[in-house]
Amino acid sequence: MKASRILSRIYIWVLLIVLYAPIVFIAVFSFTEAKSLGNWTGFSLDLYKNLFTGSMQNSSGLLSAVKNTLLIALIASTVATFLGTLAAVGVSRLKPRNRQVMSFLNNIPMINPDIITGVSLFLLFVFLHILQGYTTVVLAHITFCTPYVVLNVMPKLSQLNPNIYEAALDLGATPMQALRKVLVPALRPGMISGFILSFTMSLDDFAVTFFTRGTIGLDTLSTYIYADARKGGLTPELKPLMTIIFLVILVVLLIINTRKPKTTQQ
């Protein structure tokens, strides 16, 4: 029993070390001023300084890519959360046949690889003669985010007493009030996890953005890194940027995970 515990611990740690090696690598080399990724030319905070003062080669490009990434993720996951929650409530009241149709349609974007979602939406925008840019990227992100919101809200709905909404109406609430004061509080945990998942996937997306951003020069962090790497030289300031992003997420996740026991006690 003990041997298996030690073995499994070693296994997990070896995996984690391999999994984190590239991230640690980026973090370590963010503290040197060398241009290329694996080049150590002594300790320096210059890259951090450049990042914050904006004194680098293509600073406006990188900063606007970061801004676009965050803004697109925020808009797309907010819209997806509303659209998906509304849909989940509706779907739970549908006849079984229609519900099956909806869940089939809802599954398609989740099963499709990014490239198919990207190419098919690209063809849609070409077909409809819609100029591709910010709006099309946001629409595309809503498309692949919403199914996950629906999937996260549905279980919360099945736990809910189906008569509670009618009860609110009988007691004189308008449908809007019943939604805001009865349904949303009950569905909030599912909505939050759906939102977080959407936000994450939007942040990390590359292929869908790549195909739907058009030719107006819109860049997110992913497309910026891709273009940079294709050109040969990665903007050195990406290293401190990635390190900062990673640390922020690490801290946020640690806070969430240490706070959880308290909230369940309440």
Binders of other proteins in range 51-70 (CB under 8 A)? none
The residue among 30, 123, 84 whose CA lies nearest residue 201 is 84
Q: Binding to other proteins by residue 249, rule CB under 8 A?
A: yes
Residue 33 CA to residue 84 CA, distance in Å, equals 46
Q: Binding to other proteins by residue 176, rule CB under 8 A?
A: no
Residue 57 CA to residue 80 CA, distance in Å, equals 36
Q: Binding to other proteins by residue 87, rule CB under 8 A?
A: yes
| Stretch near other proteins under the rule CB under 8 A, chosen from 48-56, 70-78, 185-193, 204-212 | 204-212
How many Cα atoms sit within 13 Å of 19 on the Cβ side? Answer: 6
User: C-beta of 22: minimal distance to other proteins in Å?
Assistant: 4
Q: Which of residues 49 and 179 has its CB atom nearest to other proteins in the complex? A: 179
User: C-beta of 27: minimal distance to other proteins in Å?
Assistant: 10
- State the residue for tokens 């903007």: 235
Torsion sign (Cα): 223, 226, 229, 230: negative
Q: Binding to other proteins by residue 193, rule CB under 8 A?
A: no
Q: Binding to other proteins by residue 226, rule CB under 8 A?
A: yes
| Stretch near other proteins under the rule CB under 8 A, chosen from 20-28, 49-57, 70-78, 185-193 | 20-28
| Stretch near other proteins under the rule CB under 8 A, chosen from 41-49, 55-63, 81-89, 185-193 | 81-89
Burial class (CB in 10 A: 0-12, 13-18, 19+), 32: middle
User: C-beta of 210: minimal distance to other proteins in Å?
Assistant: 8
> Where in 25-44 is the site for other proteins (CB under 8 A)?
25-26, 37-38
Q: Which residue type does 260 have?
A: K
> Where in 100-139 is the site for other proteins (CB under 8 A)?
102, 105-106, 108-109, 111-116, 119-124, 126-127, 139
| Site size toward other proteins, by CB under 8 A | 81
Q: Binding to other proteins by residue 168, rule CB under 8 A?
A: no
Q: Which of residues 188 and 260 has its CB atom nearest to other proteins in the complex? A: 260
Long-range pairs of 62-67 with CB within 8 A, sequence gap ≥ 24: 62/224, 62/235, 62/237, 62/238, 62/241, 64/219, 65/219, 65/220, 65/221, 65/223, 65/224, 66/221, 66/241
Q: Which of residues 50 and 241 has its CB atom nearest to other proteins in the complex? A: 241
- State the residue for tokens 């690209």: 122
- State the residue for tokens 């109406």: 169
User: C-beta of 18: minimal distance to other proteins in Å?
Assistant: 7
